[in-house]
Amino acid sequence: MGEILLVIDAGTTSTRAMLFARDGRCLGSQAADLTQSYPAPGRVEHDAAEIWTKTRDCTAAMVEQAGGADRIAAIGITNQRETVVFWDRTNGEPLAPAIVWQDRRTADTCRRLKDAGEEPGVQARTGLLLDPYFSATKIAWALRDWPQVRAAGDRLAVGTVESWLVWKLTGGAHVTDATNASRTLLMGLGSGQWDDGLLALFNVPRGVLPEIVDSAGEVGRTSAFGGSIPICGLSGDQQAATVGQACLEPGATKATFGTGAFVLTQYGDRVPASRNRLLATVAWQIAGKRAYALEGSVFVAGSLMQWLRDSVGLLDAAGDSEALARSVPDNGGVYLVPALAGLGAPWWQPEARANLTGLSFGATRAHIVRAALEAMAHQAHDLKRAFAADGADWSLLRIDGGMVANDWMAQDLADVLAIPVERRGFIETTALGAAMLAGVGCGMFASLAEAAGMRGAVECFDPAMDEMTRGKRLTGWAEAVRRTLMN
């Protein structure tokens, strides 16, 4: 067996392949940007063929750098969740664009189901709420509104991104792991299987869906890169980050600030039930046994910086945000509620739109950019209150994702949340978690606890903000959110 773990991290804005040593060192990385399309307001799509070809090319480069396929112990795959791919199982070609998790085209469908009283039953079975974010209504929409998907009949295969990549890598294995399946609105959270009642509610044929498998363990092998490499780890990106942050005991909490922001608190082997509009999800499944987590999902985080840079022109580069935030003593009364794709937890308002308040002649570009960064801590605080109300308050927050390289933002999180914030030196913990799962799946590690040694050293940010300043910030934010929800 080889000694290197290869990870495919198929994200929303890019896909990459990375090499990890047994001790957690990153030995190499190759990334490629993905094209995100917006064919109509509220619609977000990817080209599934592009996801595959760019992933394949990045992976091939890393296999070559590793010294060949025989140096690779196993492949782990982590992916943007809820995004749905539709392909022809006879030739493995996409039938339609992939519908991205940010897509809101099924908002009306979700509203009708809520009005019909379906949400409590759906939440009880899945741990999720009725929102366009999740996969089931996307699948139902495609089966109804895309003729080429509807006409495919028995040739149709549907899956999330890791399912699509496994199919292409193996030449036809149709599987999904329990973490990704738990985000579809189609899997029973307690049973870990596709639920007949949910399939009927959303009009999704069971035959188009993949088999649900463990997050660690061999699911197939690929010969696409010379030799035969086992695929031994699968996980949705936020669950992979939870593993990568070694949140292995109940109460341990991580927050990933990537395209969106996602907080997960490990819940153990009990199925969570939220009364505060948080989500219950599978954290991982190994040897048929599931660990669960409570989750709060914020739809817009790093994508806000990208929008300020590319669409509004307030930033030359996303990294400039830290210097701008530090250039002013406070936000000058400016608040930005970043509902560019609706509001996620704990509000779940898919039709909410972004709101910039408190502008005056004294407001500058720096105040607006600072308000955008402050929104990360403000949204996290809203989630912390909801988690606490569900009996899962945070005493320490472990952070990762591209945004947290910003020291100012990491300190602001600690200040507004009034708890220590911990950041690993290597911030790509999503990929690290996939490596840990693959390591367990191929037998390199006996357990996730043993694999957690890959996490390495961390840096801690302690709260330093006084209560008066914190209270003023949070009062202003609450008013900005109130105005957003009224519009």
Query: What is residue 310's predicted lDDT score, i.e. its pLDDT?
Result: 87
**How confident is residue 425, by pLDDT bands cut at 50, 70 and 90?**
confident
Contacts of the segment 118-121: beta carbons below 8 A, 24+ positions apart: 118/201
Q: Cβ neighbours of residue 486 under 8 Å, at least 6 residues apart?
A: none
Which amino acid is present at 392? A
- Mean pLDDT of the chain, nearest integer: 92
100/107 Cα distance (integer angstroms): 14
Mean pLDDT of 259-268: 88
Query: What is residue 346's predicted lDDT score, i.e. its pLDDT?
Result: 84
115/119 Cα distance (integer angstroms): 9
| Residue in the structure block whose two tokens are 């003593």 | 329
What tens digit of pLDDT does each residue of 273-308 get? 888 888 999 999 999 999 999 999 888 888 888 888
Cα–Cα nearest to 236, from 285, 269, 198: 285
**How confident is residue 347, by pLDDT bands cut at 50, 70 and 90?**
confident
Cα–Cα nearest to 422, from 396, 453, 401: 396
Cα–Cα nearest to 80, from 258, 244, 208, 213: 258
Q: Cβ neighbours of residue 436 under 8 Å, at least 6 residues apart?
A: 76, 233, 243, 244, 445, 448, 451, 452, 454
Alpha-carbon torsion (368, 376, 304, 482), positive or negative? negative
428/401 Cα distance (integer angstroms): 6
pLDDT at 428 over 80: no
Please state the pTM of the whole predicted model: 0.85
Query: What is residue 401's predicted lDDT score, i.e. its pLDDT?
Result: 82
Query: What is residue 451's predicted lDDT score, i.e. its pLDDT?
Result: 93
Of 106-115, 231-240, 259-268, which range is least confident? 259-268
pLDDT at 352 over 90: no
pLDDT at 351 over 70: yes
pLDDT at 42 over 90: no
**How confident is residue 427, by pLDDT bands cut at 50, 70 and 90?**
low
What tens digit of pLDDT does each residue of 452-464 get? 888 877 889 999 9
Q: 370 and 324 in contact (C-beta within 8 Å)?
A: yes
In the chain, the domains with their CATH numbers are: 4-238 (3.30.420.40)
pLDDT at 1 over 70: no
Mean pLDDT of 439-447: 95
Q: 166 and 230 in contact (C-beta within 8 Å)?
A: no
pLDDT at 350 over 80: no
Q: 415 and 463 in contact (C-beta within 8 Å)?
A: yes
